[in-house]
Amino acid sequence: MTNSEYTDWTETSVAVSVQLRSRPLWSAFMSWPSRNLGCCFDPSAQPDKVAIIDLRRPEQPQEITYAALDAACDAVARGLLGRGLTRGDRVGILSLNSAPMIAAYLGIMRAGLVAVPISFKLARDTVDYIVKDADLRAVFHDHERAATVPDGVLGIDFDAPDGYAALLDHGPFTAIEPQAREVATILYTSGSTGMPKGVLLSHESQMWALDTAARAGDRSQHRYIVAAPMFHMNATISAKTALHAGASMVLLPSFDARLYAQAIAKYRVTWLTSVPTMLAMMARERDLIATLDFSSVSHVMMGSAPLTKALVEKVQGIFPGAAISNAYGTTEAGPGVFGPHPDGLPRPDTAVGYPTEGALAELREGPSPDEGVLYMKNPMLMEGYNNRPEKTAEVMRDGWYRSGDIMRRDAHGFFHFLGRADDMFVVGGENVWPGEVEKLIERMPGVHQAAVVPVPDDIKGTLPFAFVVKQDGAAIDEAAVKTFTIANGPAFAHPRFVEFRAAIALSATNKPDRRLLTEEAQQIAAKRRAAGERG
C-alpha cells in the first residue's frame, strides 16, 4: 500500500464511520457494547482520539483515530463476508505489524470468523502446515511474504491495490455476538519441539482478561508502545489492552532496538510492554540512550521470559521514574494470572506477582506446596489445541492447565518463576535451572546478558554451557566467569564452558532461542573436547 493509498484508507474510514455520541470513556465500562473480541474498544468514547501511531515508515508516521479504526474493522468484516466466508471460517494473517493488520485482526473476529496470526519467521513448510492445520480460507499478508502463502488459498495483500484496499467494503456493520466460549482467535505456539500447536482462544476468555486489566484503573491517558510480533500473546494482548483502555498506541512493524528507543522519546510513551530480551538489547545502545529523554515513561512491564535482577536494575537506570513489573502469562491460560498483592505489599523485583482475583494458581509435583509446577484455573483458559486432543489431555486436567513452569511462592504469597520444567537438566544428580544460573552470571561485573543450556557429558550426564554477552569494554574471560559462579552459587551449577557472543540468538518471539543455542553449544563443546579441553 502506498502512502497515498494509506492516507485514503484513513480518510475514507473517517468519512464513512457511523454517527458516534460523545460520552465519558468509563461510563459503560462494565456493560461493554459487545462481547465480540473484535469490538474490544468503544469508538464512541473519543472518536477523534488517536488510537494508533503506525511506524511502518518511521519518517512518515500515520495517525489513525478510533473512528477510523472502527470503520476499517467494519469494512474488513463486510468485505470478508462479501467474499463468501461464513461464521467459524479461519483467516490467517502473515505480516509485520501495521494499522491495517490490526484492522484485519479485529475485523475478522467482528464477522464471526477466526483470526489466525502466523509467525513471519517460520519456514515455508511450517507455514504450509499451519495453513492446513487451521484449514484457512484466506490469508492477509504484506507484499514481502506474498510468496509464502500456499497456492489454493485466497491471499489478501496489504500492499497491493487489488488486495486489502479492494477487499474493504465500507458501511455500517453489526458485529456477530459470540456464543459462550466461541473461538475468536488461534495462536500457534513457537513449536520448540515438533510442529506448532494451535491454541484455541474464545471471545469470552480474552474479554475477561481485558476487563480484569481495566479494573486496575483508568489508563486512557497513557501512550503504549508495541513492538513485539502480533502472532505472539505478548503483542496481541498489549495492543488489545491499549485499545480497550481508550489509550493511544505507538506501533512498530517489528522490534529494532534503536527505533524502539527513539520512538519512546519522540512520542512521549508512558507505558512499555516488552519481552526482557528487547530491553536488554536496547540497554546496549548506551550512546543513543544518553541523547534521549525518557522522562515520560511511568510504567515498564516485561513478560514472556524470566527476568533477572541485573536487568531490572539496568532498566530502572534508563527509566528512573518508572514502576517496573514482571508480567507472567501463557497462551493457553491467559495473560493476567498474577497482579498486585491484595494487601498492597510491594512486589519483589523479579516476582511475577500475586494471583489475580478469579484466577486460581497452585503449585504441584514439587517438594512442598510452595514450590513446583504451576497449575492454573481461570476463565481465560484455552478451549484446547486445534486437532490435537491427545496434547490437550496432557495439559488440561480436571479444568486445570498444567503450565510446565516451575515456580516458588514466598511467605507473602508472591510467585517467583524458576524455569521451565522442560529446560531443567541434571548435573551429577543435581537439578539445574538455566534461569537461575543466568541470573547468577548476570550479577557479575562486566556481564550484560547470559543464556545457559545443557551439553551432554559421559560422567555427569549433562553440563552447563553459558553464552555470555559482555558489557562494552569489559575485560573478562572464561576463567573469570567460572570463578565468579563457583564463588557465588552451587559449584555443580557453574558453567563448564563459556562462549562469548556479541548478542544472544533470538527466536521469532524475541526470546533466547534455546533450541538453536543448545545445538551450537553441543558442537562447540565437542570441538573443544576433541582439541583436548576438559569441561
Rounded CA separation 274/159 (Å):
27
Q: Round to the nearest angstrom and report the end-to-end CA distance of the chain.
A: 55
Q: Which fold has domain 425-530?
A: GMP Synthetase; Chain A, domain 3 (3.30.300)
User: What residues have CB less than 8 Å from 309, skipping those under 6 apart?
Assistant: 349, 350, 439, 442, 443
Cβ of 268: how many Cβ atoms within 10 Å? 14
Domain boundaries, the chain: 3-34+66-203, 328-420, 425-530
**What is the separation of C-alpha 290 from the centre of its chain, rounded to a whole number of angstroms?**
28
In CATH, the number for domain 328-420 is 2.30.38.10
DSSP string, 193-218: SSS--EEEEEHHHHHHHHHHHHTT--
User: What residues have CB less than 8 Å from 23, skipping those under 6 apart?
Assistant: 44, 45
DSSP string, 136-171: EEEEEE-GGGGGGSPTTSEEEETTSTTTHHHH---S
DSSP string, 220-251: TT-EEEE-S-TTSHHHHHHHHHHHHTT-EEEE
Q: In what order do the strands lie in the sheet with 114-117?
A: 154-157, 136-141, 90-94, 114-117, 183-188, 198-202, 384-385
Rounded CA separation 76/80 (Å):
6
Give the per-residue pLDDT at 189. Answer: 86
Give the per-residue pLDDT at 392. Answer: 96
Query: Of the candidates 37, 347, 13, which has an alpha carbon nearest to the alpha carbon of residue 187?
Result: 37
Query: Of the candidates 320, 456, 349, which has an alpha carbon nearest to the alpha carbon of residue 410?
Result: 349
For cell 537438566, the residue is: 425
In CATH, the number for domain 3-34+66-203 is 3.40.50.980
Give the per-residue pLDDT at 394. Answer: 94
**509: DSSP letter:** T
Rounded CA separation 202/527 (Å):
49
343-381: pLDDT as tens digits: 999 999 889 999 999 999 999 998 899 999 999 999 999
Query: Of the candidates 229, 246, 237, which has an alpha carbon nearest to the alpha carbon of residue 207?
Result: 237
Give the per-residue pLDDT at 94. Answer: 97
Beta bridge partners of 361: 376
Beta bridge partners of 415: 353, 409
Q: What is the largest CA-CA distance in the chain?
A: 77
Cβ of 432: how many Cβ atoms within 10 Å? 22
Assign residue 245 a region: left if phi > 0, alpha if psi is -120 to 50, beta otherwise?
alpha
Enumerate residue ranges in the chain where pLDDT < 50. Answer: 1-31, 192
Query: Of the candidates 24, 35, 19, 33, which has an alpha carbon nearest to the alpha carbon of residue 67?
Result: 19
| Residue 142 cell numbers, joined | 504484506
pTM of the model: 0.81
Give the per-residue pLDDT at 27. Answer: 31
Which DSSP helix (H) or strand (E) runs through 515? helix 514-530
**Cα-only R_g, the chain:** 23
> In degrees, to the nearest 5, what angle opens at C-alpha 281 toward C-alphas 276 and 282?
100
Query: Of the candidates 108, 105, 139, 137, which has an alpha carbon nearest to the alpha carbon of residue 122?
Result: 139
Helix and strand counts by DSSP (H, E) for the chain: 15, 26
| Residue 240 cell numbers, joined | 488489545
SS3 39: helix
Give the per-residue pLDDT at 304. Answer: 64
Rounded CA separation 240/338 (Å):
18
Rounded CA separation 126/302 (Å):
29
